[in-house]
Amino acid sequence: MGVTVDVRQVYKYPFEQVVASFLRKYPNPMDKNVISVITVEEKRDVSTGIIYRKRIAVCQNVVPEILRKVSILKVPSIQLEEESWLNPQERNMAIRSHCLTWTQYASMKEESVFRESVENPNWELE
């Protein structure tokens, strides 16, 4: 069984600011569930200019205590892997992330694309 959720968000800020904010948003004091984010690989393709990053996030296990009675769910933290491809020339960034914990039992993934919106071509810094 699979579930797909499609969410569309239009940010009111320039592309570069949205990308920079995404890359530095965790960890922060406002979200105690994200313990750490470590960049394990970063490289730039000299022919295309695309910047590839692979990051590992360690997050608190937020599974309710009642479900943690099942031994496989009784872990203090979970790990997520995130890969991103930033294309500064075309002004877009694709992101794929998936859970590294419990992969033998279930899978979870998220895919996002950041790009300038045709709905608001006159973005200005405020």
Q: The whole model's pTM is what?
A: 0.82
pLDDT greater than 70 at residue 4:
yes
* pLDDT score at 39: 96
More confidently predicted of 3 and 19 = 19
Distances (CA, A) of 32 to 8, 26, 36, 80, 121: 26, 10, 10, 16, 35
Average pLDDT of the segment spanning 27-46: 94
pLDDT digits (tens, 9 = 90+) for 62-113: 888 888 888 888 889 999 999 999 999 999 999 999 999 988 877 888 999 9
Distance of CA 108 to the CA centre of its chain: 12
CA-closest candidate to residue 96, choices 104, 105, 85: 85
